[in-house]
Amino acid sequence: MKYRTLGKTGMEVSVVGYGASPLGNEFGETDVAEGVRAVHCAIDLGINYFDVSPYYGRTLAEERLGRALEGRRDRVYLATKCGRYGAPEDEGGFDFSPQRVTKSIDESLDRLKTDYVDILQVHDIEFGDREQIINETLPALRKIQEAGKCRFVGITGLPLKVLRDVASRGGVDTILSYCRYNLMITDMADVLAPFCRERGVGLINASPLHMRILSEKGAPDWHPASQEVKQAGGKVVQLCEKRGVSVADVALKFCVDYAYAATTLVGMSKQRHVEQNVAALEITVPSDLLGQIEQSVEPVKNRTWPSGRPENND
């Protein structure tokens, strides 16, 4: 396993991070015992960064991860989130108020069976009012930090410009964005990475498979990408199949080779997936295959989708 320093936090995090959302049945029913084995296997293979949220499985992922980490908490860096608890249409689905996030961390710590997390992140900030997040939410998280319940403070989301704006005006230690650096899209490198390098902010990448567009099964029905993007992803899968390589391996290796993201989060709930993802770090992707992939996705390169409030989109 390789490790990189996460901004100014001083944390040396594994280049592959454990995304715990599948433990909450976010992508289908997960076998609880197998999920525990996956977590233990990840730690044994050197994965030391674990990311979860009360939103995943509506608290289920935190509960399951907390149980799986019992006796192993001191071997990992643990990150959770606050502010998002349901779908946009749900009552209370988003609540970035100081009162709610202050209560939220105590609930998370109880489920995770720990007295602190290494990073507490404001979840999907594009769904909130950015002025509230800057002037109320982040100051509340700093008070939580002062109380010793989290070591560092971060933000997450899909749109890049709102992340950069909130980080520059509100001050954060880490930024997590998903589906903005992979075989289909690389604009994180242009919009966020220079800012993070300049400010010493830890940059976290997520969803190397573009929320499963880059998989043999293809995108789930709920995927918000356009049909053109999904079809382009299917062509990437076919190119990899013709070369006898796994598109998941190629996609992950492409992401972890990007040196300016400290870690790339991958959703995992099965031991064999953990083992496959760690093994993918050692593969060499033929340069001509990467060239073919780049040419194939060029018509839709860097095309994303709206998320959150209109004023927060890129």
Residue 46, both tokens: 């050197």
Pairing between β-strand 3-5 and β-strand 263-267 as defined by DSSP bridges: unpaired
Residue 63, classed as helix, strand or coil, is: helix
CB atoms within 10 A of CB 97: 15
Q: How far apart are CA 52 and CA 108, in angstroms?
A: 10
pLDDT tens-digit series, residues 127-168: 999 999 999 999 999 999 999 999 999 999 999 999 999 999
At residue 143, the 3 state secondary structure works out as helix
Does pTM top 0.85 for this prediction? yes
The CATH code belonging to domain 3-312 is 3.20.20.100
Q: How far apart are CA 167 and CA 175, in angstroms?
A: 8
Q: Distances from the Cα of 212 to the Cαs of 190, 202, 215, 240, in angstroms?
A: 23, 25, 5, 15
pLDDT classification of 26: cutoffs 50, 70, 90: confident
**Mean pLDDT value of segment 96-122:** 98
CA distances from 296 to 181, 182, 211, 233, 234 (A): 16, 14, 19, 9, 10
DSSP track, 21-58: GGGGTBTB---HHHHHHHHHHHHHTT--EEE--TTTTT
Q: Which of 152, 181, 213, 207 is nearest to 17 (CA)?
A: 207
Domain-wise residue ranges, the chain:
3-312
pLDDT at 212 over 80: yes
- Concerning whether 116 is annotated as a catalytic residue, the answer is no
Query: In 60-201, at which residue ranges do the beta strands (DSSP E only) sit?
Result: 77-82, 117-122, 150-157, 174-178
| CB distance 283 to 240 below 8 Å | no
Mean pLDDT of 178-184: 98
pLDDT band at 114 (very low <50, low <70, confident <90, very high): very high
Q: Which residue has the tokens 């609880």?
A: 32
Catalytic annotation, pick one of 18, 49, 55, 56: 56
Q: By CB neighbour count within 10 A (0-12 exposed, 13-18 middle, 19+ buried), where does 282 fall?
A: exposed
